Structure 1
């Protein structure tokens, strides 16, 4: 196996991991605050659809990205209202929203695109950092990614700093670990959780837009293909720690890239096995077979004052 093929594989793994990295970062904040945003898959699909329609209608992928984010905000508010204000079951409401998003985007896709479903949609440009692109044998093959990936790295770094080094981060941690203590301190558990779910929605929208107008430059029915669920599994895999979660996302991305890499180097493996590999790893994570998992103490538990 030569260096060029290895570089292509690494670049592909990063590309496939990017929507998981983006979605999982927002979801981690939400779960740390005590809300399991199970509707992450539906939010990503909604963002992918709205971003594709916006880019197709205006010819501007940046407008598509903005519309993708705006379209997901009502979905995030719905999830927050159901799970925080009405204190409904977070898993049931999340799955319900996912089904609604799948049906709604499928219907709208057929009505809007119709026979033009194969039409090219303007997409976000790729970019590689000046120093990294000059690395011999790898360079652009690894680091030439959609610029949204690098913006995502900045957001992830800022999120890590916020969660570890700021009073807001401490409050969000406490909202999922000891909400009554947060309430007694004078802060609003409801406001913190609403903000966390909205942030999760924004990151999910960006992740969806990355898939439709960043990577594929089109929209297909159900195109997120379980990426939202994989992002949630990556959080469990990483034991609710940001660094380990990022490594889990890269692992899932590499597992997906193997579907295309192994046939290229002549390794014959049943395609069905390669397709199911990321989900098999996710199953191992959710089942707790990779070590003891320590979730936030009040994750999925609604809080009521008094």
Structure 2
């Protein structure tokens, strides 16, 4: 691999990992509090669709990003209501929402853009921090990215500090380990779980909007293509640690980038194998073949006072 190819591969890996990382940050916080959001895929797809439509209608990607968040919050509230108030099975309710959203966005896409349309929509421009873009070979390929790429590490740092050093972080961990003890301490585990699901929705909206208006500047049917499930797998792969989860997202992004890099290098690998590689890594993580997994004890367990 030449230096130029390596630079392109690194830049592509980072770009492809970003929607996973944004969604996985929200999912990590939620799972630490005991809520498994299987609807993450649907939330990301909602964000991508709403962001694309709003950016197309207004010509502003900023308004598209705002619309993405505004559209996903009701979905997150519905998920929170089903799992925390009605105490529905978190896996079944999440998968049901994913199916509903896939159908709704497909119908909306065909009504607005027409079947099989790939109409370009306004999106965020790429830029590079001062100095980094001037680095020979690697500057343009690696550091010229959409601003959300640079916002993601800041969010990771902020969430890591919140989880490890604040009273809120302690309460979140308590909600995922022993919510009854949290209630006895005078804090509402249910309200806290509502909050983390909404936070997950916001982060999923950012991840979905990144796909539509930050990366390819268009919308296609089911364009998340399993990204939500990969984000959930990254949390498991990372053993519910935010740094390990971020590394897992980068690993999944690199596996996806190989689909394009290896053929460009003249390496003949079956395309089906390249397409399945990130999902194979996800399967290994979920199956526990990458080390012992210790989930929060109350994860996916309905709770009531």
Q: Give the TM-score, by structure 2 length.
A: 0.98
Q: What does residue 226 of structure 1 align with? A: 226
Where does residue 164 of structure 1 map in the other structure?
A: 164
Q: Which shifted more, 130-139 or 194-203?
A: 130-139
Structure 1 stretches of at least 4 aligned residues deviating more than 3 Å after TM superposition: none
2:295 equivalent in structure 1: 295
Partner of 1:127: 127
Matched, 1:243 2:243: yes
Could you tell me which runs of 5 or more consecutive residues in structure 1 were left unpaired when the two chains were aligned. Answer: none
Report the 3-state secondary structure (helix = DSSP H, G, I; strand = E; otherwise coil) of the residue aligned with 1:62. helix
RMSD of equivalent CA atoms: 0.9
State how far apart, in whole Å, the 2-side matches of 1:290 and 1:29 are: 22
Residues in 1 aligned to 2:120 and 2:232: alpha-carbon distance in whole angstroms: 31
SS in 1 for 2:118: coil
Structure 2 distance, partners of 1:102, 1:78, is 16
- CA deviation after TM superposition for structure 1 residue 134, in Å: 2.4
TM-score (norm 1): 0.98
Asked if residue 95 in structure 1 is aligned to residue 98 in structure 2, the reply is no
What is aligned with 2:117?
117
Alignment match, 1:5: 5
May I ask how many residue pairs the two structures share in their alignment? 305
Equivalent-residue separation in structure 1 for 2:222 and 2:20 (angstroms): 16
Instruction: Give secondary structure in 2 for the equivalent of 1:114.
Output: coil
Please state how far the C-alpha of 1:136 moved relative to its aligned partner: 2.3
Check if 1:81 corresponds to 2:85.
no
Cα shift readout 1:59-96 (whole Å, capped 9, x = no counterpart):
00100000000000000000000000110000000000
Q: What is the rounded CA distance, in whole Å, between the counterparts of 2:50 and 2:210 in structure 1?
A: 12
1:18 paired to 2:18:
yes
Whole-angstrom CA distance in 2 between matches of 1:158 and 1:183 = 26
Q: 1:116 to 1:282 in 2, by over 3 A?
A: closer
Distance, in Å, in 2 between the alignment partners of 1:175 and 1:125 is 40
Separation in structure 1 between the aligned mates of residue 23 and residue 299 of structure 2, nearest angstrom: 18
SS at match of 2:6: helix
Quote how far apart the aligned CAs of 1:117 are.
2.2
Distance 1:118 1:249 in 2: 27
Per-residue deviation at 1:115?
6.1
User: Secondary structure of 2:251's partner?
Assistant: helix
Give 1:193 shift. Answer: 0.4
Task: Tell me what 1:38 maps to.
Answer: 38
Specify the SS of the correspondent of 2:92.
helix
Q: Distance in 1 between matches of 2:299 and 2:134?
A: 45
Report the equivalent of 2:261.
261
Aligned-partner Cα distance in 1 for 2:253–2:115: 32
Structure 2 portions without partners, runs of 5+: none
Which residue pairs with 2:188 in the alignment? Answer: 188
Q: Which residue of 2 aligns with 1:152?
A: 152
Q: Within 1, Cα distance between the matches of 2:127 and 2:85? A: 42
Q: 1:115 to 1:280 in 2, by over 3 A?
A: closer
2: CA distance between counterparts of 1:282 and 1:129?
Answer: 33
